[in-house]
Amino acid sequence: MSLFDSILGQVGGNLDISSIAGKFGIDPSMAEMAVKALGQSHAEPGDTIEAAAAKTGMDSGMLGQIASHLGGEGGLGQLSGLLQGNSALSGLTGMLDKDGDGSPLNDIAGMAGGLFGKN
């Protein structure tokens, strides 16, 4: 299960990209793109569906159906908040991961060791 699927699971029910793709007869990569665009667009001014359609090139009718499947306004609001929280966390992780190995823990330990005069 991807990080995005786990975020989507927090929106409600047992939603995942594969089930959305299957329900709407689209490729899973298109379903993921649609859901991300809907979540991002919900936090922006203007019409969520139209903004997501502009980002993805997908039909606004299909995006409206996907938005309803996600729980409508409430589900999109929750998804938007989760996506924004996740991007803030990944930005912080990127700043702390000095060696770029994907884990900031060894870098934080190194910083803590430097504070106490250890290398």
Q: For 69-89, write each residue's pLDDT tens digit.
A: 988 888 888 888 877 765 544
Q: What is the DSSP letter of 97?
A: -
Question: What is the span of the domain harbouring residue 88?
Answer: 3-115
User: What is the per-residue pLDDT for 17?
Assistant: 84
Under 8 Å CB-to-CB from 40, ≥6 apart: which residues?
52, 55, 80, 83
Q: 33-56, pLDDT tens digit by residue?
A: 998 889 888 888 999 999 999 999
Helix axes 3-11, 28-42, angle to 10 degrees: 60
Total domains in the chain come to 1
pLDDT of residue 36: 86
- List alpha helices for the chain, DSSP H: 3-11, 17-24, 28-42, 48-56, 60-69, 72-96, 105-115
The stretch 53-70 carries a mean pLDDT of: 94
DSSP assignment letter at 29: H
Does pTM top 0.75 for this prediction? no
- Confidence bin at 92 (pLDDT 50/70/90): very low
